[in-house]
Amino acid sequence: MNIKVGDIITAYHAGYHQVVAIQPRTIEEHETDKPLIEYRTLLDAKFNVKVGKKTKTCDGTYCEVITMKKFNKQRIDAVKKVKEGYGQLWGAINFKDDILKDPSIWKKS
């Protein structure tokens, strides 16, 4: 595992986090390769800034180091999903329906 203190990661909890501590774990007096990762949130899953003082922990197997290149790709992919979602919503509205042609349902300005 190549995670170091200070790395930006994704983890068990949604969002983007910064590693603040790595706690090695032992099983029957032997160190495992699955440490406990302690981190604080920097961004939520929707890329909103959520810098927190409270730390969370999870097993290192749930963590992935995020490079700037990966982060930018994930942001671009998220924007594409939103645009596709709005396109599908717009396509689902059928303006041929009689109810939508009824002028009484539209707000008067």
Domain coordinates in residue numbering, the chain: 8-67
Q: Residue 103 half-sphere exposure, CB side, CA atoms within 13 Å?
A: 2
* Mean pLDDT score, 51-75: 89
Predicted TM-score (pTM) of the model is 0.68
CA distance 4 to 7: 6
pLDDT higher for 48 or 93? Answer: 48
* pLDDT one-digit tens code per residue, 15-59: 999 999 999 887 777 666 688 999 999 988 888 888 878 999 999
Other Cβ atoms closer than 10 A to 17: 27
From residue 69, how far is each of 8, 66, 73, 75, 77 by CA, in Å?
12, 8, 6, 10, 12
